[in-house]
């Protein structure tokens, strides 16, 4: 996880790698800076999104043998 730079709005990302044989979900805390934000997985053909709660925590899911890279959805700006 990279929290980004305060002087670069929209920066920051979350990465999850899954080398297991089944889908996995991991809870990650992006911090209150990102509370309520929506992140989109740029590696997912479906454009999977994660809604962060009011503490900046979200549930990130990756299929077996895949990776996910979530960036700040531009609609948050």
What pTM does this model have?
A: 0.83
Q: How confident is the model at residue 70 (pLDDT cuts 50, 70, 90)?
A: very high
- 44-67 average pLDDT score: 93
Rounded distance between C-alpha atoms, residue 59 and residue 42, angstroms: 16
Q: Tell which CATH classification among 3.30.70.270, 2.60.40.1180, 3.40.50.261, 3.40.50.460 matches the domain 13-76.
A: 2.60.40.1180
Confidence of residue 28 (pLDDT cuts 50, 70, 90): very high
Q: In this structure, what is the dihedral angle of CA atoms 66, 72, 74, 77, given to the nearest 10 degrees?
A: 170
Helices then strands, counting H and E runs in the chain, come out as: 0, 6
- Give the rounded percent of residues in the chain with a pLDDT score beyond 70: 81
Q: Of all helices (H) and strands (E), which one includes residue 44?
A: none
The mean pLDDT of 43-59, rounded to a whole number, is 92
C-alpha–C-alpha distance, residues 51 and 18, integer Å = 20
Domain extents for the chain?
13-76
**Res 77 pLDDT > 90:** no
pLDDT for res 9: 65
């Amino acid at each position: 996880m990279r929290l980004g730079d305060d002087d670069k709005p929209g920066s920051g990302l979350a990465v999850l790698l899954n080398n297991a044989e089944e889908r996995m979900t991991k809870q990650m805390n992006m911090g209150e800076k990102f509370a309520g934000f929506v992140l989109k997985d740029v590696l997912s053909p479906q454009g999977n999104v994660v809604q962060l709660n009011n503490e900046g925590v979200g549930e990130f899911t990756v299929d077996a043998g895949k990776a996910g890279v979530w960036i700040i959805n531009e609609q948050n700006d």
